[in-house]
Amino acid sequence: MSIKAISMNRSEQCLVEMVKKRLQVTVREDIVNWIDRQVEKLRFASRSHAIEYALLQLMEQEKNE
């Protein structure tokens, strides 16, 4: 967390951390079914959360290569 973020209230911190852009993607049906099962198991909060998590993992993996 930056010094600027520390001086913000919790509501402002959430807005800074949560800025997102809406995307539209096409994904294979079996992958969507898997994501939906993971959401049902509460592994992810939503389909968007699952996809964002996977992309963050890929970014981190590439950064470490």
φ, ψ (nearest 5 deg) of residue 33: -60, -40
| Cβ-contact 44, 35 below 8 angstroms | yes
pLDDT at 11: 57
pLDDT at 60: 94
| Cβ-contact 10, 17 below 8 angstroms | no
Average pLDDT, 10 consecutive residues per value, the chain (65 residues):
52 65 96 98 96 95 93
The helix or strand, by DSSP H or E, that contains position 40, with its residue range, turns out to be helix 29-40
pLDDT at 1: 42
Domain boundaries, the chain: 23-65
pLDDT at 12: 56
